Every structure is written in structure tokens, then in C-alpha cells.
A and B are shown apart, each in its own frame.
Chain A
Amino acid sequence: MKIAVLSGKGGTGKTLVSVNLASVAKESIYIDCDVEEPNGHLFFKPTDIKSEKISIKIPFADEKLCKGCRKCVDFCKFNALAYIINKLIVFDEVCHSCGGCVIFCPEQALSEKEKIIGEVQRGVSENVAVITGILNTGEASGIPIIKKLLCGIPAGNEISLIDCPPGSACIVMESIKEADYCILVAEPTLFGVHNLNMVYELVRLFDKPYGAVLNKCLEGENPAENYCLEKDIKILGKISFDSELGTLNSNALISVRENKKYRDMFSSLLQIVTKEVQHEPVINP
């Protein structure tokens, strides 16, 4: 079962929740889809790492064949091409690798070349297979890396935790596309409610089963909890604002591997989530 963990902004506790859930499972796969700043590996410190470079296709022009018709320039919705003084200029980092310009070129002057944009690292940390996506700085889109990260993740009973990028943009959509269940992590503030709403709307749009984990809970009123009650969002668990947990986490330690208290807490959260996933009817058997 593929469980995606998401939130409307960074720092709410996606990595805390996904790393600890992956660690309390008997055996699991942890996939870091936050390719712009992957940090799950800092906790897992995986060994036996195997790296695989990820590349995309970028057009390049044969100047001898190009007649300057500009069909490619007009076609590109991202304006990755310009035709200046009888010469086609390609902006690699603006290109989205759709390949349309190559198809439309009537002179067959355009062909594609490979460009490395990042890598996928696979390693092991005790009971967890750790897969990390890394996008090189300055690249426009991490989608090709996320596609690679998520292909070949088993669909059966084996537990996979997908640590999503923050927000609700296309990079998050790609990360939750194949997920069986979505955990929304929220902070107990009005801003937290705004961010929760973003991911709530997204998972509804994608018709995914979902539930919320309320992180950093304090005494007194919790706007995120109120929001969950109002929208009838299932609250899977609450994590209190806890300096001990915060300290373990900021020292890049996996709390369930350090303290029985946290092991019990995340075990019961995993049980609840697993039960929720199994209750959901299978959409694509």
C-alpha cells in the first residue's frame, strides 16, 4: 500500500511522520519525493547506496537544416525557443521536454539530446529501503525524477511511505497520483488551516482517501482540528508540541528508534492508517 504524506507548506512534519511511520513498519519503503530539498536520508543515513542519473530530452537544432520558419518557436508554450539573427536559441532550463518542437519541425532540423537533471539514490537503513530523489539546483521541474522514484513501487501489502514536496503544485500531484491513501499533516494555527485546505482540496480533486495528522498540538483551541471537524476530515492522530521529540528530530534521529514512547505512538498511528487504507474500496484492482 502506498501512503503519501503531504502538507501545504514546509516544516509541518511530513518528514517526521513519514520517516517514523516507515521505521515502525516491520518492513517498508521510504520514498523522498521532495526532490528540491530531500532530507529523509539525513535521518535514515542509508548504506549500500546505488545512484542512477536521471536525464530529460532537450531539443537541439542542426543549423544547416533550419530554414527559420519558427514553427517550433510559435509552438512552445513555455517559450523555450527563440530565433535570433538566423539562429535558433534553446533555453534548456525552460524546456519541459514535451518533444513537440521536434515533431513540428518541417525540415527535421531538430533532434533531441539527453540532459542530466538529477539522480535517484537507493539504499538501506535497517528495515527500511530508502529511495531519494535529488534534483540538480536550477532545474525547472522535478517531475521526471518523481516518475522514476515511483515506478516499480509494489502495490501489494508492503508499506511504502511517499514523503511529498510541500504545497499542492504539479510536483505534488505527480507524487500522490498512484497513492492508495493520503495523510495530511497540519499545524495548529490559522496559517496551518490555510495550508491544510490547499492539500485537502487537492486530495479531493484526485479522489483519494485521506485523513489528517495534527502536529505540534498545544493546550487549548486548535484551528486545524476545528477545520477537520467542520469538513469531516478523519483525524488519524495528534502529535503534541514536545521538546523531546523536537530535539531528537533536529538531531536527525528517528524517534521511534530512540524511544519506546514514540515507537508506541507511531505504531498505533500506522495501525490506524493501515486500517483506513484497507477499509477503502479498491479503485483499480
Chain B
Amino acid sequence: MKIAIPVDEKSLETSVGQSFGRTPYYLIYDTVSKESVFLDNSAVASQGGAGIKAAQTIVDNNVNALLTPRCGENAAEVLKAAHIKLYKTIKASIKDNIDALNEGKLSLLEDIHPGFHGHGGK
């Protein structure tokens, strides 16, 4: 299974990024081959709709599951349309979350937030 995790740095030792759409990088990890690839998040500085663009990147990388602390409704809609499963991360460490997923200890992310669709100055 191919999974994606928003991360702060391009390293397996880094912590989970706190925003799905605005995180600087994604870790794409294959749970079978143990192969890992880091992607730049091209949506990080978007004027708006970062979650949508980020989700498109995740979909285009043929990911099966996303591990994230939170996710906005627009991103969730894109991911749902691509049948990508959303799991809620439980710890800061990447490795702990991957282990937890492998052991079936991660629960599905249910609380999809309304997103921050502000356009400055409100």
C-alpha cells in the first residue's frame, strides 16, 4: 500500500506537518517495498485552494491512504473522489505513525474541518 504523510522536512526523522494543504513536503511511502520518496508541495504558497491542489498531487501519485492530523473539506472531497482513505495521525514521529498503521491502530479521520477559505483581511 502506498501512503502519503504531510511532513515538515525531507527526512524520515522529521515530524508530521500540521496542515495538509500548506505543509512544505509530503512523504510517499510504500508499506510493502519500504521505499520512500519526498515531494515538494507546490500548493504551499497558493493564494487559495491549497488543499485542492495538494490533494490533486496526492491523487496523481496513486496513493491509497493519507495519514494527516487534519484535513479541510475541499481536500477531503478530492481525496474521497479518488477513493483515498484518510487516517488520523496520533504522534509527531513519522515512524510511529507508519508502525501504528501497520498494526491497525490508526483510526479513520472523521472530523473534516470547513477549511480556511479567507481571502485576506477579514
Show the binding face of A for B, using Cβ within 8 Å: 36, 73, 76-85, 87, 89, 91, 93-94, 140-141, 167-172
Contacts and interface: CB of A to CB of B under 8 A. Distances in A.
Contacts of B53: 79, 82
Nearest to B117: A140
Nearest to B78: A82
Nearest to B82: A84
B43 interface: yes
Given A73-B56, A84-B56, A169 B81 contact: no
B122 A167 contact: yes
Contacts, number: 66
A63 to B, nearest CB: 14
Interface residues of B, number: 21
B117 A94 contact: yes
A68 to B, nearest CB: 12
Nearest first, the 9 closest Cβ-Cβ pairs linking A and B are A79-B49, A169-B121, A167-B121, A79-B53, A79-B52, A84-B81, A78-B48, A94-B49, A169-B120
Where chain A touches its partner, the secondary structure class is loop
Given A76-B49, A79-B46, A81-B52, 11 more contacts: A36-B122, A77-B46, A78-B47, A79-B52, A80-B52, A85-B81, A89-B77, A91-B52, A93-B117, A94-B48, A169-B121
A68 B59 CA distance: 14
Interface in B87-122: 117, 119-122
A80 B56 CA distance: 11
B119 A141 contact: yes
B27 interface: no
B122 A140 contact: no
17 contacts: A73-B56, A78-B48, A79-B49, A79-B53, A82-B78, A82-B81, A84-B56, A85-B59, A85-B81, A87-B81, A91-B49, A91-B52, A94-B52, A94-B74, A140-B119, A169-B121, A170-B121
